[in-house]
């Protein structure tokens, strides 16, 4: 699987820092760890930011080599992500259908939990990060229940840290679901970015210490 060029990944990190989507400090993760950084894609909350985010995702997906027929965004963050990515692809001549799910089934109108295009063929799941892999597992099951197959996952950042065992959360998703995962950027790229910013020396040290405790290759 081909990775996007280094300058592309660095541009994304700079973009996330500028929009304060990628923040530094002390944040408690779902695993109960105190992380020196936090990524919240929900803070890409204006039209221009969301447009650029979709373009970054689309480029990373293209570089990954994952073959897919449609896109799926799990509620809630995945809804805006999948729409922005579909638009980014369409701008470049690739008109992919997309869908997302409701948290609760609708009992009137068209009903059901799926909104958008019917799930069929090879479905690429879109998310912001992978923590415990719960959202991916539920998406894979939902896609299969609708007669389609999950063919991969695209996320914004791979934290490259331990999941439930010695594997990273992303590696666990790959192993448990037998599908590839591509990311716009990862922890290695973040460390490279911090090393290039003298004013972020404190953040660099904190992230390096965190990686020593929880990181995987």
In angstroms, what CA-CA distances link 206 with 34, 40, 159? 11, 19, 14
Active site residue 205: no
Cβ 50 vs Cβ 84: under 8 Å = yes
| Annotated catalytic residue within 106, 175, 195, 205 | 106
105: Cβ contacts below 8 Å, ≥ 6 apart: 111, 112, 113
Answer for the pair 69, 33: CB distance below 8 angstroms, yes or no. no
Q: Are 160 and 216 in contact (CB under 8 A)?
A: yes
Which pair of structure tokens corresponds to residue 131? 């923590």
Tokens 């404190």 sit on residue: 202
Residue 140 has phi, psi (to 5 degrees) of -60, -45
Instruction: Provide the H-helix boundaries in 92-186.
Output: 134-145, 169-177
Q: Is residue 19 among the annotated active site residues?
A: no
DSSP state for residue 45 in the 8-state scheme? -
Based on the number of CB atoms within 10 Å of its own CB, is 25 exposed (0-12), middle (13-18) or buried (19 or more)?
exposed
What are the residue numbers of the active site?
106, 108
């Amino acid at each position: 699987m081909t990775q996007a060029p280094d300058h592309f990944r660095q541009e994304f990190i700079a973009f996330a820092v500028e929009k304060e989507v990628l923040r530094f400090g002390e944040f408690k993760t779902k695993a109960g760890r105190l992380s020196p950084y936090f990524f919240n894609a929900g803070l890409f909350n204006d039209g221009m930011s969301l447009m650029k985010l979709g373009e970054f995702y689309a480029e990373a997906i293209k570089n990954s080599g994952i073959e897919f027929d449609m896109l799926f965004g799990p509620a809630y963050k995945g809804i805006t992500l999948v729409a922005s990515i579909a638009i980014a692809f369409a701008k470049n001549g690739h008109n992919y259908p997309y869908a997302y799910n409701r948290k609760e089934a609708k009992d009137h109108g068209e009903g059901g939990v799926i909104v958008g295009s019917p799930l069929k063929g090879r479905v690429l799941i879109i998310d912001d990060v992978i923590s415990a892999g719960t959202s991916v597992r539920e998406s894979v099951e939902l896609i299969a229940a609708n007669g389609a197959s999950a063919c991969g996952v695209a996320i914004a950042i791979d934290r490259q840290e331990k999941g439930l065992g010695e594997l990273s959360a992303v590696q666990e998703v790959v192993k448990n679901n037998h599908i590839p995962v591509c990311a716009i950027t990862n922890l290695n790229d973040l460390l490279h970015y911090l090393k290039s910013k003298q004013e972020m020396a404190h953040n660099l040290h904190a992230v390096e210490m965190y990686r020593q405790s929880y990181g995987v290759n």
